[in-house]
Amino acid sequence: MIKTTCSFENCKCSIITIKDENSDMITEFATDMFNALQLMQQREEDLTNSEFFITKDVWDFDNIGVSKDIPSEILEQDNLNKFVFKYADDQYKIDRCLKYLICADCDRGPIGVVCEVSTVDGGNHKQTLHLISLRSVKCIKT
């Protein structure tokens, strides 16, 4: 089990607990995703890849805030399509990022994004997913 908390010293708010049976919902993206999404990067243990925990339901979080809309000029459609990932036995691509995820207690972040995604095989299966950056939070294995 991995317990994630806000990475700021004075906060330590619980963000989400990732149970062992949900560890397959952790996926890696190239580090340029951080630059494209303008995410906070606290941890520097691995500078080549970036892990994200993916969940469909905002209620899976212990504590999370959702911020303003992501400006369209930050994320161009062409840049997003290159971020392909596996989730629930399908390959998905990011179609659009909607909002940033932030710490609910201290309002710092962004530590993740809410995105509309579709399958790469023609986009038949569309859904909204919450991607939390494990590099932007403190992770404690229990």
Q: For residue 72, what is the domain's CATH number?
A: 2.170.150
Provide the 10 A C-beta neighbour count for residue 33: 22
- pLDDT value, residue 80: 66
Mean local confidence (pLDDT), 70-99: 79
Bond into 110 cis (ω within 30): yes
- pLDDT value, residue 102: 95
Q: Are 58 and 137 in contact (CB under 8 A)?
A: no
Q: Which of 59, 62, 56 has the alpha carbon at shortest distance from 17?
A: 62
Domain limits for position 100: 2-141
Which value, to the nearest 10 degrees, does the dihedral of the CA atoms of residues 45, 8, 11, 101 take? -80
Number of domains making up the chain:
1
Q: Are 130 and 103 in contact (CB under 8 A)?
A: no
pTM of the model: 0.87
- Burial profile 56-88: b = 16 or more Cβ within 10 angstroms, e = fewer: eeeebbeebbbeeebeeeebeeeebeebebebe
Mean local confidence (pLDDT), 108-124: 88
pLDDT in tens, 52-78: 999 999 999 999 999 888 877 666 655
* N-terminal to C-terminal alpha carbon distance within the chain: 5
Residue 79 has pLDDT above 90, yes or no: no
